């Protein structure tokens, strides 16, 4: 700062120079005082890009006062934040939700006292591009540079890396190029070609086209699909097992007929593909065959596999059921024989008191043992059960007679 007569000069003004400046001029009669308020304006730096979630993001960084940001077309789903930096400037960042974009492009408008005209930038959204791994893909930058193309720059934000591909037209119409990306990627005019695509190529692709008046930005994203390998077989316990191995995104597996006893697991492999394995539990199968259905974006139509349950598996299930039934019958036989033995013992303690009971008992015992004399060679379990029920009924009749004739 320097003072010369009635003026004060400040060279290379800074925000720290803001404040109130008082001036006092004295003569032989009086003292005159004036004051001035100094406001320092700082023009912001501006940008327009695509955020990590694919939404357009516009910013005005390091301005004072803070810039004003608006969008064309207007939307109710715009998030704008203002932050004061340590040097007393302001950063304003505004995000236009991608879900609310009804067209293919939006325009960011930044207004500031330092701008003669508002700063405007347009960004074109080409949308998501899907490609099967190993196939080539072409991305087109939708920005129109007119007749004065100066440069094209592709900025790639991939899964675990970033790189740049660009070329520039010099004054003598020669073209110089630069690339820090994979050799499988090359730029030609407004297109970017990727040969033999891989999962590592997934990400966002921003293109910036510059002409003699403006810079126009375009945006695309790539999703790489991987076709899974499928199988259907019987596991060690005889349960049908269906799998879709090495797919991206993970496949969807369903069964016919439907069952609530199905276990499905999804595992991400080290190469970022997915393996899906679904098991139709044997205990839930009432059919002789089942069908596995695998759906995936790389399939023209769902993959289907049928499997017939082997006779061994059906026979094993039948043996399990028969074994359970025979076990129940055996337990009932033991209980009935014990009850019969108990009734006989009680009857013998009372039989000597009444000769008529003795005569009935002898006749009943003769009838009781006739079936065993006739079929002594049979050892069938069902026959033994029938004999036990007959004996139990006869013993019950004798016991009833004893109680009725007892004094």
**Closest residue by Cα to residue 63 from 114, 8, 108:** 114
pLDDT at 382: 44
Q: How confident is the model at residue 387 (pLDDT cuts 50, 70, 90)?
A: low
> Contact 58/93 with Cβ under 8 angstroms?
yes
Predicted local distance difference test score (pLDDT) of residue 377: 44
* Selection from 71, 7, 12, 73 nearest residue 36 by Cα: 7
- pLDDT higher than 50, residue 378: no
At residue 92, the pLDDT reads 97
Residues of the chain within CATH 2.60.40.10 domain(s) are 121-225, 229-309
Give the Å distances, CA to CA, from 190 to 51, 176, 367.
Answer: 22, 15, 108
pLDDT digits (tens, 9 = 90+) for 245-304: 999 999 999 999 988 889 999 999 999 999 999 999 877 677 788 999 999 999 999 999
Strand positions, DSSP E, 170-250: 175-179, 185-188, 191-194, 203-211, 215-225, 229-234, 240-247
Distances from the Cα of 225 to the Cαs of 115, 131, 246, 268, 296, in angstroms?
Answer: 47, 6, 11, 14, 9
Output DSSP code: residue 404: H
DSSP-derived letter for residue 403 is: H
Q: Is domain 229-309 annotated with CATH 2.30.29.30?
A: no
pLDDT at residue 135 greater than cutoff 60: yes
Reported as a single tens digit per residue, the pLDDT across 321-377 is: 677 788 888 888 888 877 777 777 766 666 555 555 555 555 555 454 445 444 444
* Percentage of the chain lying above the pLDDT 70 cut: 79
pLDDT > 70? residue 211: yes
Is there a contact between 198 and 185 (Cβ–Cβ < 8 Å)? Answer: no
Lowest-confidence segment of 131-135, 171-175, 177-181, 223-227 by average pLDDT:
171-175
Cβ contact 240:280 at 8 Å: yes
- The pLDDT tens digits for 155-198 are 999 988 999 999 888 877 788 889 999 999 998 888 899 999 99
What is the per-residue DSSP string for 297-356?
Answer: TT-SS-EEEEEEPPHHHHHHHHHHHHHHHHHHHHHHHHHHHHHHHHHHHHHHHHHTT-HH
Looking up tokens 């609530």 gives 260
**C-alpha span between 379 and 143 (Å, rounded):** 94
**Please, are residues 118 and 58 in contact by the beta-carbon 8 Å criterion?**
no
Q: Dump pLDDT digits (tens) for 67-78.
A: 999 998 888 889
Name the H helices within 352-380: 355-374
Compute the distance between CA of residue 71 and CA of residue 123 in angstroms, rounded to an integer.
Answer: 11
What gap in Å lies between CA 50 and CA 144, rounded to an integer?
Answer: 18
**Measured between alpha carbons, how far is 339 from 346 in angstroms, rounded to an integer?**
11
Of the listed ranges 46-55, 105-114, 218-227, 313-322, the one predicted with least confidence: 313-322
Topology given in CATH for the domain delimited by 121-225 = Immunoglobulin-like (2.60.40)
Of residues 261, 269, 241, the one with CA closest to residue 253:
241
Residue of 388, 361, 393, 360 lying closest to 372 (CA atoms): 388
Q: In this predicted model, which residue has the larger pLDDT, 118 or 402?
A: 118
């Amino acid at each position: 700062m320097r003072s010369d007569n009635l003026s004060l000069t400040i060279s290379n003004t800074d925000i720290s120079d803001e404040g109130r400046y008082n001036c006092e001029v004295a003569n032989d009669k009086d003292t005159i005082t004036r004051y001035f308020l100094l406001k320092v304006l700082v023009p912001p730096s501006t940008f327009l890009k695509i955020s990590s979630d694919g939404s357009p993001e516009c910013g005005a960084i390091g301005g004072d006062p803070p810039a004003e940001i608006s969008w064309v077309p207007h939307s109710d789903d715009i998030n704008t934040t203002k932050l004061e930096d340590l040097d007393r400037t302001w950063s304003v960042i505004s995000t236009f939700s991608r879900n609310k974009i009804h067209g293919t492009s939006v325009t960011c408008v930044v207004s500031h006292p330092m701008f003669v005209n508002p700063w405007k930038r347009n960004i074109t959204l080409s949308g998501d591009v899907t490609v099967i791994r190993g196939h080539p893909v072409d991305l087109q930058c939708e920005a129109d540079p007119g007749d004065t193309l100066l440069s094209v720059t592709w900025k790639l934000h991939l899964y675990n890396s970033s790189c740049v591909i660009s070329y520039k037209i010099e004054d003598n119409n020669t073209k110089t190029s630069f690339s820090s990306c994979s050799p499988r990627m090359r730029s030609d005019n407004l297109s970017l070609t990727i040969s033999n695509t891989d999962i590592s190529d997934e990400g966002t692709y921003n293109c910036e086209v510059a002409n003699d008046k403006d810079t126009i930005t375009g945006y695309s994203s790539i999703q790489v699909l991987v076709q899974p390998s499928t199988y259907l077989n019987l596991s060690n316990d005889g349960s049908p097992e269906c799998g879709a191995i090495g797919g991206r995104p993970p496949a969807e597996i369903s069964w016919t007929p439907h069952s609530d006893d199905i276990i499905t697991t999804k595992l991400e492999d080290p190469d970022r593909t997915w393996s899906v394995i679904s098991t139709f539990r044997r205990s839930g199968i009432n059919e002789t065959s089942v069908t596995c259905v695998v759906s995936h974006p790389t399939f023209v139509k769902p993959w289907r596999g049928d499997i017939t349950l082997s006779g061994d598996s059906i026979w094993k299930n039948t043996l399990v059921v028969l074994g359970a039934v025979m076990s129940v019958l055996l337990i009932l036989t033991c209980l009935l024989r014990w009850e019969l033995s108990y009734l006989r013992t009680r009857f013998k303690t009372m039989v000597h008191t009444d000769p008529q009971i003795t005569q009935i008992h002898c006749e009943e015992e003769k009838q009781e043992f006739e079936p065993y004399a006739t079929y002594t060679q049979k050892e069938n379990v069902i026959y033994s059960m029938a004999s036990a029920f007959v004996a139990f009924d006869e013993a019950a009749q004798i016991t009833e007679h004893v109680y009725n004739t007892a004094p």
